[in-house]
Amino acid sequence: LRGVTTHNLRNVDAAFPARGLTVVTGPSGSGKSSLVLDTLLAESLNRFNDLVAPWARRLLPRKGGAEFVSARNLQAAVAVPQASGRRNPRSRVGTVTELDELYRMVWSRAGSGRLPASAFSPNAGAGACPGCKGLGFLQACDPERLVTAPDLPLGAGAMDGTRFGAYLGEPDGRYVATLLAAGRKLGLDFTLPWRDLPPGARAVAMRGCEGILDVEWAYRRGRREGVHRLSTPWEGFAALVDTEYERVHLEKGEALAELLAETPCADCGGERLNPRSRGAVFAGLRLPELAGLPAAAARAWFRSLDLSGPAAALREDILPRLAALEDAGLGHLAPGREMASLSGGEAQRVRLAASLGSGLSGVTYVLDEPTLGLHARDTARLAGVLRGLADAGNAVVVVEHDPALVARADHILELGPGAGPEGGRLTGQGAPGSFPPSSQTGRILARRTPAAFAPARSLAPGVSIRGANLHNLRGIDVDLPAGALVAVTGVSFGTRGL
């Protein structure tokens, strides 16, 4: 890149090895993201998009804002984010790494069912469990999440804790009028607070009742008011939430998702496939059983098999992907694990492992502070994955400050000397050993400054947690003092999300 002036960069000339690990370092605000993300990545994506068919080009976003004199020898580029993004329950470790597809082909070619590969996909009609449509669970509104003020009546603020709940519980609204009509018909008093309603009344309020009701709805909208008379069924507030979520969840369902609870599908037991597909066996295992095996165990299982024909050929594609997960320190993850359940660092390493296992070369991988939130042990594993990508013939460009990762670089670009108007200059570049100890990068590589410990002081009692067992916590007891800065440390995946 020559003459880069994107944002606060000041005529920067930067070279990135096409095969190797480049780390871009410098103070916050010095222009690292402007150089790597807003110039290198953006222009690489734009030029790649220019090569596709015109009809497809219209569907691809064009990145703007990059300012430079020239850019040569750019490669296809991929940004590898930490964030897992919006939850998609069908996105699993196996879908990202392509293990799901390879597993399905094994069962199709060599399994007992003699079924097409689509019959082993929970995302296809031929394979999905009809009860849960291949999700493995059912989603339904949880009344305890919908009713946020149980000491109030349903038509007087009990559901006002969420926007949609407040809409349903509007005192002059259609739904409260219909609920009261159901109460008159069934002899139930829905003017009582939610906590005082008997179980039968709660069931009617949330899941409705049979028959058609004659409703007299006295509405009020600003200065407009009047009476509507209508004949309508009463579905129940929870059923109305379910219906609305089904209608809008693809575009804007996040706000309603907090009102839903998940329960395992009774038909498939969470295995996501229909009875015929989940009953097919290969080498003594059903496909859902293999999908639930951690990558390390699955790799050992495949290596123990004496295979021939299509199954043997497919194993040669499967083993490198499982090995890549192990090399990334993710051997404990099963392909069936939902991506949304992973931490940002885990999700990022799954994507990196997928790239490493695919065997691609000639690609530029861009990462922004990938060690954020990682334990030192896991930073070493991440560095190993990045080194593997570089050794496979790719350019890996990382914005980073962590000394352990900076020291593993083939090439370092240092921006600075300060932030904002005081930054934007290339203050150094070269191999790790070429930076003098007085430089910013030299100080990072030689970081030996001891921590300045806070003086001991008395702490007031705060939050006490007893017997915590969420996810992989094992009945731990924790005391968090009040008026203090509390640090929770440990290896990644040690459930610091306590």
Q: Which of 342, 352, 353 is nearest to 295 (CA)?
A: 353
Cβ neighbors of 178 (< 8 A, separation 6 or more) are: 213, 215, 217, 232, 234
User: Which pLDDT value is given to residue 371?
Assistant: 86
User: Which pLDDT value is given to residue 470?
Assistant: 75
Domain 20-84+342-445 CATH (choose: 3.40.1160.10, 3.60.10.10, 3.40.50.10470, 3.40.50.300)? 3.40.50.300
Residue 182 burial class via C-beta count within 10 angstroms: exposed 0-12, middle 13-18, buried 19 and up:
buried
What's the maximum distance between 2 C-alpha atoms anywhere in the chain? 85
Measured between alpha carbons, how far is 288 from 180 in angstroms, rounded to an integer? 48
Domain 93-136+266-327 CATH (choose: 3.40.50.300, 3.90.1150.10, 3.30.70.920, 1.20.1580.10)? 1.20.1580.10
Model confidence, pTM: 0.76
Taking the CB of residue 113, how many other CB atoms lie within 10 A of it?
18
Task: Measure the CA dihedral 228/233/236/238, to 10°.
Answer: -100
Distance in Å from the first CA to the final CA of the chain: 45
Going residue by residue through the chain, which has 498 residues, state the pLDDT in tens, using 9 for 90 and above. Answer: 999 999 999 999 999 999 999 999 999 999 999 999 999 999 999 999 999 888 888 888 888 889 999 999 999 999 988 765 567 889 999 999 999 999 999 999 999 978 999 999 999 999 999 999 999 999 899 999 999 999 999 999 999 999 999 999 999 999 999 999 999 999 999 999 999 999 999 999 999 999 999 998 888 877 788 888 999 999 999 999 999 988 876 566 677 888 999 999 999 999 999 999 999 999 999 999 999 999 999 999 999 999 999 999 999 999 999 999 998 889 999 999 999 888 877 888 899 999 988 888 999 999 999 888 777 877 888 898 999 999 999 999 999 989 989 999 999 999 999 999 999 999 999 999 899 888 888 888 886 455 567 677 888 899 999 988 876 788 899 999 998 888 888 776 555 556
User: Which pLDDT value is given to residue 334?
Assistant: 96
Q: Where are the alpha helices (DSSP H) in 70-126?
A: 93-97, 99-110
User: Which pLDDT value is given to residue 452?
Assistant: 65
Q: Which fold has domain 140-262?
A: Helicase, Ruva Protein; domain 3 (1.10.8)
User: Which pLDDT value is given to residue 451?
Assistant: 57
User: Which pLDDT value is given to residue 14?
Assistant: 96
User: Which pLDDT value is given to residue 343?
Assistant: 80
Give me the residue spans of the domains in the chain: 20-84+342-445, 93-136+266-327, 140-262, 456-498
Structural element, H or E, at residue 296? helix 295-304
Q: Is 476 helix (H, G, I), strand (E, B) or coil?
A: strand
Measured between alpha carbons, how far is 118 from 125 in angstroms, rounded to an integer? 8
Of how many residues is the chain composed? 498
